[in-house]
Amino acid sequence: MTRIAIADNDNVIIGLMKQYIMNYQREKNIQFKLYTFNDCTELINSEVKTDLIFIDVEMPGEDAIKAAKQIRKKDKLVKIVCMMSRTEFSISLFAVHPFDVLKKPVKQEKLVSVLDEYSEYSQQQNRSPMVSFRSDTGIIVINTLDVIAFEYIHNRGVMIYMKNKNIEIRASIKEVMKSINSDIFTCPHKSFIVNIKEIRKISDFTIVMSNGLIIPAAQKRYKEIKNLLLTSMSQS
């Protein structure tokens, strides 16, 4: 069960968000455990373990962004959604690694979008890193955490570059992408899938992997991959 906390000094806002979340539960036939807090101190001192926190970073009293940083320091996995009335926010907010930023008053469709994204993220996180593929010698099982990259080499043939060996499997790039955790891997080019954490350099539309493999990056994907790499580095 996903445990959600809402931290806001405005009980009207809290009531509205609770209603949105209950509507979502009924529509999706899932169950959440809800906790509410009216100030930052109450949230920080709580012994409740949460998975997703909606926090008003403009709450009076203790610096709410500082409080969010404290929460992040204690729990590296909790997802924090920052809520605010302003359309511009301080760069210090990035230190919190927010899952999303919502403008107040929060609209139902925006909250639904965050919950959908969190649900998808949770499913990805729960997916085992162990996956199986078909090869010429039979079924093989690999740990995708040990994979550096996948390369399409010929008709329904893909080479898996791993940290300690290379393996050829019978699959398409699309089939491989469906089998693995898309939070860790991305497609810089139609013939390649790369492990973001194994990228060592990216420049001039070229990616250098940890094993020295040089991979082309499609122009339309280049900026997105640079951003994914920066995000991965900030979370390591």
Dist CA 80 CA 214 (whole Å):
36
Q: What is the pLDDT of residues 26-79, one digit of tens each?
A: 999 888 999 999 988 889 888 888 999 999 988 876 678 888 888 888 887 889
Centroid of chain to Cα 8 = 24
The least confident of 16-25, 105-114, 178-187, 214-223 is 178-187
Q: What is the pLDDT of residues 74-133, one digit of tens each?
A: 887 889 999 988 766 666 677 788 888 899 999 999 999 999 999 888 776 666 688 899
Q: What is the pLDDT of residues 127-158, one digit of tens each?
A: 668 889 999 999 999 999 899 999 999 888 99
- pTM of the predicted model over 0.75: no
Contact status, residue 99 vs residue 118, Cβ threshold 8 Å? yes
pLDDT at position 217:
92
The Cβ-side half-sphere exposure at 2, using a 13 Å CA radius, reads: 24
